[in-house]
Amino acid sequence: MLKKTFFLLFLAFSISQLYAQTIQKIIVSGNKKTLSKVITREMKLKPGSFPDSVLIELDRRKIESLGLFDKVEAVFVDSSKTLKIIVDERWFVWPVPEIFNTENSFTFSKFKNIFSSVDGLAKEKVTLKLSLKHTNFRGNNEKLSASVSFGYNAGYELDYLIPWLTDKKLIFHTLLFRRGLEVESKTDKNFEPLKVERLEVFEQGGTFSLGKKLGFEHKIFLGFGFREVKKQKNQPEKEIFLSEKEKDKLPSLLFSYVYDTRDLIFYPRQGIFAETIFEKVGFGETKANYLKTWLDTRYFLPLTENQVLGFHVFAQSSKGEIPTYERFVLGSKFLVRGHYKDQKEGENLFLTSIAYRFPIFKIRYYKVPSFDFMEEYTDNFKFGISGELFFDAGNSWSERKEFDEIQKGFGFGLNFHIPYREVIRLEAAFDEKFKPEILLGIFVSF
């Protein structure tokens, strides 16, 4: 009896000691508009967890990945019993004006024309886009944006994302659009040259998708979309449509799976990202009947605390007859650096990259002078510079075209860490013949 009593007392003492070493409370401060649950639901650490320094840093970077805060800190108070998350909120509502010129050139006559009328914008192949974006709608990390474009690519877009819908961890996303769209492909459906400087179609439609988070690393999505793509009024007749009436109706079903363990999505130091997408286009009485698939994998290996080796493999493929405007083009959105002007198109595409990233000037936070109503949002603007050495390779091909030589490129670049845009890249790239080119990009390359 004495032994049993002693054992129970020892067990109770041990449990009390273990409990004393755990995190007993997590509090959030600095969030004036963001709901506290938006922050804590990103954390693996909960009350009752042991204060693991690795997990604390990982949770801090996961909160930073929300893109809602200029700075995120995690500190212990009350003799390490309370973990305090301190955030510095950003400004969430932004009017964004953008202007695009297709030919990338402005003469005096063009400058005069584009400010004379909306028709002048279209005449000079200039698009003026005005957007209003809310990056933290209702304080729930919801993304809401509306944009209208005038001139050459006239149209509008409405985009709404709810990243955490109800306690079931559901994700809702919808996009409605009506816009002009440039055809990136330079050949018709028989791979004959289009012989036009620029070809544009008109598209309208929308997409609706519902996803679910499975734990912290896994997500699945199921979506439905519909697009109507048709010829622009003043465009020449070209064989780029599936329908003889030069108007294609494209209903689609989409399924995707995402696995993500990256510590910071804007500039990962470690982790894995893998996404696969299957999209079936065409059912019912439509002319369309093809399948498109995507695979995107990224792996980040930390060499030291701030040096990273990154690997990226991206592939797209299609099965069935796809319209010309749906082809995969290497050299536009998907790029082998060193081959910016060397576009290759087809019904399949792959791109792979290796990058070594290292710090040059460590990220620091500065208070930036601003207007009185903005002062509290400019206390912790981050600035830093990282270097990158990279190698890219890729190709795009079709079963009806011979698989030709793979594009290869290499070079070095600077990654400027800045507020809101996170990373701006300035890169010097070379092709196989050491022909140089200078590239400017937004966000990290992968």
Could you tell me which residue, 316 or 12, shows the higher pLDDT? 316
Assess whether pLDDT exceeds 80 at residue 123: no
CA distance 353 to 330: 14
**CA 329 to each of CA 75, 294, 298, 344: distance values in angstroms, whole numbers, following the listed order:** 48, 14, 21, 6
Summarised one tens digit per residue, pLDDT across range 347-398 is 999 999 999 999 999 999 998 887 776 778 888 899 999 999 999 999 998 8
Which among 331, 437, 335 has a CA at the least distance from the CA of 392? 335
Summarised one tens digit per residue, pLDDT across range 299-340 is 999 999 889 999 999 999 999 989 999 999 888 778 999 998
**CA 39 to each of CA 27, 61, 86, 187: distance values in angstroms, whole numbers, following the listed order:** 10, 11, 10, 49
Main-chain dihedrals φ then ψ at residue 118, nearest 5 degrees? -65, -35
- Bridge partners (DSSP) of residue 28 are 85
Fill in the DSSP letter of residue 235: S
What is the model's pLDDT at position 49?
86
If you average pLDDT over residues 210-218, what whole number do you get? 95
CA distance 84 to 72: 11
Contact status, residue 180 vs residue 201, Cβ threshold 8 Å: yes
If you average pLDDT over residues 22-44, what whole number do you get? 92
Domain spans, the chain: 2-89, 327-446
What is the model's pLDDT at position 336?
94
Cα atoms in the Cβ-side hemisphere of radius 13 Å centred on 117: 3
Which of the four pLDDT bands, split at 50, 70 and 90, describes residue 13?
Answer: very low
Assess whether pLDDT exceeds 60 at residue 106: no
Q: Which of 111-125, 191-205, 245-259, 401-415 has the lowest mean pLDDT?
A: 111-125
Question: Which three-class secondary structure state does DSSP give residue 123?
Answer: helix
CA distance 59 to 74: 9
Assess whether pLDDT exceeds 80 at residue 410: yes
Which of the four pLDDT bands, split at 50, 70 and 90, describes residue 104?
Answer: very low
What is the model's pLDDT at position 364?
93
CATH top-level class for 2-89? Answer: alpha beta
Cα atoms in the Cβ-side hemisphere of radius 13 Å centred on 211: 21
Q: Which of 120-129, 254-263, 383-392, 425-434 has the lowest mean pLDDT?
A: 120-129
Could you tell me which residue, 385 or 441, shows the higher pLDDT? 385
Assess whether pLDDT exceeds 60 at residue 113: no
Supply the pTM of this predicted model: 0.87
Summarised one tens digit per residue, pLDDT across range 215-258 is 999 999 999 999 999 988 777 778 889 888 889 999 999 999 99
Strand ranges in 152-289 using DSSP code E only, listed in sequence order: 155-165, 170-182, 200-214, 218-231, 247-260, 271-281
Name residue 395's amino acid: N
Assess whether pLDDT exceeds 50 at residue 15: no
What is the model's pLDDT at position 403?
67
Summarised one tens digit per residue, pLDDT across range 153-194 is 789 999 999 999 988 899 999 999 998 888 888 888 888 888
What average pLDDT does the structure give for the chain? 87
Question: Which three-class secondary structure state does DSSP give residue 350?
Answer: strand
CA distance 293 to 211: 18
Contact status, residue 51 vs residue 23, Cβ threshold 8 Å: yes
Could you tell me which residue, 42 or 4, shows the higher pLDDT? 42
CA distance 200 to 202: 7
- DSSP letters for 257-311: EEEE--S-TTS-SSEEEEEEEEEEE--TT-S--EEEEEEEEEEEEESSSS-EEEE
